[in-house]
């Protein structure tokens, strides 16, 4: 466990301003993790993404992240579905020191997820189910959604597994 506070900052909020982002980041506890989700939904390059009416400017975000008032000792995580839409200034070394691509689920990840949801599920059965889906064909979110829907019904999950197989074929 990291035992850190997690602070989620919604950059696409209509009320967020340059000053508000700076204040919120400054107020995050020392050693905390700050999560900025779907940054590509806020900015396409240096311009606001279409449909985004936030008052936050690109320069305001950059200054809040590492300007004069920026705080040290915090880990900032930014997520995006479209890295190519982000301006190089936002993802340059010093602002984003580590880039981690998280792709679709591997069979091994599906096996582990099955075993977490169903502690009584035999390892070989979890492997067999995962093997019925092409490696990398499903997102972890899709697998999780299916398992949450069947969380109290292992036999229903096993018999309904064909749903995921069908989704994987059409993905």
Residue 51 or residue 129, greater confidence:
129
Percent of the chain residues topping a pLDDT of 90: 59
The per-residue pLDDT for range 4-28, each reduced to its tens digit, is 999 999 998 878 899 999 999 988 9
- Collect contacts of 78-86 with beta carbons under 8 A, ≥24 apart: 78/36, 78/37, 78/39, 79/35, 79/36, 79/37, 79/38, 79/39, 80/38, 80/39, 80/40, 81/38, 81/40, 82/40, 83/40, 85/40, 85/43, 85/44, 85/45, 85/49, 86/39, 86/40, 86/43, 86/45
Residue 60, pLDDT above cutoff 80: yes
What are 76-127's pLDDT values in tens digits?
999 998 999 999 999 999 888 899 999 999 999 999 999 999 999 999 999 9
- Where in the chain are the domains? 6-85, 107-170
In which band, very low, low, confident or very high, does the pLDDT at 69 lie, cut at 50, 70 and 90?
low
Got the DSSP string for 111-168? HHHHHHH-TTS-HHHHHHHHHTS-TT-S-HHHHHHHHHHTTT-HHHHHHTTHHHHHHH
CATH 3.40.50.300 fits 6-85, yes or no: yes
- pLDDT, tens digit, for every residue of 131-141? 999 999 999 99
Q: Residue 68: its pLDDT value, please?
A: 62
């Amino acid at each position: 466990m990291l035992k850190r506070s997690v602070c989620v900052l919604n950059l696409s909020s209509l009320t967020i301003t340059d000053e508000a982002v700076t204040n919120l980041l400054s107020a995050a506890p020392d050693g905390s993790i700050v999560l900025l989700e779907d940054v590509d939904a806020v900015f396409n390059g240096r311009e606001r993404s279409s449909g985004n009416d936030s008052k936050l400017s690109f320069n305001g975000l950059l200054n809040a992240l590492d300007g004069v008032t920026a705080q040290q000792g915090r880990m900032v995580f930014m997520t995006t579905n479209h890295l190519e839409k982000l301006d190089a200034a936002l993802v340059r070394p010093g602002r984003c020191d580590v880039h981690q691509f998280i792709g679709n689920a591997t069979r091994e990840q599906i096996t582990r997820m099955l075993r977490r949801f169903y502690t009584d599920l035999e390892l070989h059965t979890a492997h067999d189910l995962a093997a019925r889906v092409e490696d990398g064909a499903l997102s972890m979110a899709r697998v999780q959604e299916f398992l949450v829907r069947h969380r109290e019904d292992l036999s229903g999950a096993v018999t309904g597994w064909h749903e995921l197989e069908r989704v994987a074929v059409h993905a």
